[in-house]
Amino acid sequence: MTTQPGRSAEEEFQPVTEEQLAEQLAYYSSRAGEYDDWWLRRGTFDKGETANEVWFREAELVRSVLSSVELGDDVLELAPGTGTWSVHLAPRARNLLLVDGSAEMLAHNPAAKEEQVRTEIADLFTWETDERFDAIVFTFWISHVPRERLRPFFRSLGSWLRPGGRLFFVDDLPLATTEPHVDGAAGQTMTRRLNSGESATIVKNFYPGAELAAAAGEFGIDLEVRESETYFQYGTGRRR
Ligand X SMILES: C[S@@+](CC[C@H](N)C(=O)[O-])C[C@H]1O[C@@H](n2cnc3c(N)ncnc32)[C@H](O)[C@@H]1O
- Interface positions with ligand X (CB under 6 A): 21, 24-25, 28, 39, 79-81, 84-85, 100-102, 105, 123-125, 139-141, 144
Q: Which is nearer to ligand X, 39 or 217 (CB)?
A: 39
Q: Which is nearer to ligand X, 28 or 168 (CB)?
A: 28
What DSSP designation does 220 have? T
Q: What are phi and psi of 131, to 5 degrees?
A: -70, 155
To ligand X, the closest distance from the beta carbon of 106 in angstroms equals: 8
User: CB-wise, 98 or 213, nearer to ligand X?
Assistant: 98
Q: How far is the CB of 81 from ligand X (least distance, A)?
A: 3
- To ligand X, the closest distance from the beta carbon of 176 in angstroms equals 10
Please say which residue, 39 or 95, places its beta carbon nearer to ligand X: 39
Which three-class secondary structure state does DSSP give residue 141? coil
Q: Which residue is nearest to ligand X (CB)?
A: 81
Q: How far is the CB of 32 from ligand X (least distance, A)?
A: 8
